[in-house]
Amino acid sequence: MEKPIVQKSPATSRRKFLGGAAFAATAVNLPIEACAQVAGSDEIKLALVGSGGRGSGAIDQALSSGGTRLVAVADAFDYRLEPLVSKLQSHAAYGKRVDVPESRRFTGLESYKEAIQHADVVLMATPPGFRPMMFKAAVEAGKHVFMEKPVAVDSPGSRMVMEYAKIADEKNLKVVVGLQRRYDAGYQEAYEKVKKEGMIGDIVAAQCYWNGGGVWEPSERKPDMSEMEYQVKNWYYYNWLCGDHIAEQHIHNIDVINWFMDDQHPVAAQGMGGRETRKDKKYGQIFDHHYVEFAYANGVIMNSQCRHQRNCWSSVSELVVGSKGSCFMNGSSAVIKDNTGKVVWRNRGGDGNPYQVEHDRLYKAIRENTKLNNAHYGAASTFTSILGRYATYSGKMVKWDEALAWNNSEMPEKLGLDSTPVVLPNAEGVYKVAVPGEFDPSKPLG
């Protein structure tokens, strides 16, 4: 089969990104009144940025919503584009709405700039480190957004998303963040029982977990592979791309607690973590376990655990403790007990797929021009998880306001697969890993 024609993007200065200048040179800074451009329209044009596992899932859900058309795809690697487009075009239900000729297939680390110009909605499913600049470019171009979590990996990126969340409101743009528990009927029912009906009284403490065996193994380094390409392919294991698994996965559970705390974020965190089982150099920089004590302004403490260690106790769940009882949530099922341990309410999980529901709600809000912007709580829960990483990496008490102001980005000076990352291995191929008691989280780890 003939190789598709792809469009490559030039590299961009890190200083422009961090300084808040117009990063996406091709983005159009539309007036506010021009930004709800598809309200009432029968068809919503989609651009997918990131065609890996989550990207293919997101576009399946977006097209399954109906009344949508995929018109552009962008990815760092050209070999991913044709297989995805062909698979989507062969889909019985929506294949005819996949309209992505070779001229609208873009490749490179900055290919999102071209793709977003063709669409009404941008779906962002790249490694999280790129999310802030992509969100900024989409908002400047007047595009609605679906973006996966987390929405940043460091303090500068978090500030950028928080800033552009406000601009999205000003431009009447709709934004959904892939924290799907908020769209899960089971979680919503538990929230109603706890927050609206007061079944457990005032919240006094919380716990949350993402303890499991881990994720995919890093791919091998090939002789002709650049350092940048190697890191992007193995993005989960590098902080500037992933944010560590406390941000990439455990954010789901952390976000539930923030939600039940009336979307108030913690003001400080302290904790511990390290690498006990994933010690090989192929695992890059990230820890295999984190334990964090998050403190909220009202005195509530959230104890947070996430672990990637096999043959250990596993749990992906949340517990909210109140003055009259507790609510335990595991998946979309939940149980409430009173202070004697008696079960006073239970559900068995909600109807509907929350991954699908979040897309359905986005396109409904666009068509009906109703307010919807998850970027605010998405950024707050993202930075909560990052605050936890700062605490475990440093072994110190870290305060929200101080940490949010840090300039500790490791985004490279130029973005291209032939560019040099800030994070580099030593002569033995070992990357720098944070050592509690020695690491200063206000500075790049490098």
pLDDT at residue 37 in the model:
52
pLDDT at residue 24 in the model:
34
Measure the CA–CA gap between 323 and 304, rounded to whole angstroms: 20
Which residue has better confidence, 349 or 382? 382
pLDDT at residue 42 in the model:
75
Measure the CA–CA gap between 422 and 360, rounded to whole angstroms: 39
pLDDT at residue 23 in the model:
31
Which residue has better confidence, 228 or 4? 228
pLDDT at 32 over 60: no
Q: What is the pLDDT of residues 327-378, one digit of tens each?
A: 999 988 999 999 999 999 999 777 789 999 999 999 999 999 999 999 999 9
DSSP string, 130-161: GHHHHHHHHHHTT-EEEEPSPS-SSHHHHHHH
pLDDT at 3 over 60: no
| Average pLDDT rounded to a whole number, residues 173-201 | 97
pLDDT at 7 over 70: no
| Average pLDDT rounded to a whole number, residues 49-65 | 95
pLDDT at residue 29 in the model:
39
Cα of first residue to Cα of last residue in the chain, in angstroms, is 42
Give me the domains of the chain, ranges plus CATH numbers: 14-181+358-373 (3.40.50.720), 194-349+383-404 (3.30.360.10)
pLDDT at 114 over 80: yes
- Per-chain mean pLDDT for the chain: 91
| Percent residues over pLDDT 70 in the chain | 91
pLDDT at residue 41 in the model:
52
| Percent residues over pLDDT 90 in the chain | 88
Measure the CA–CA gap between 252 and 316, rounded to whole angstroms: 9
Mention every residue, 6+ apart, whose C-beta is less than 8 A from residue 20: 160, 163
What is the chain's Cα-based Rg? 22
pLDDT at residue 38 in the model:
56
pLDDT at residue 79 in the model:
94
Measure the CA–CA gap between 242 and 232, rounded to whole angstroms: 10
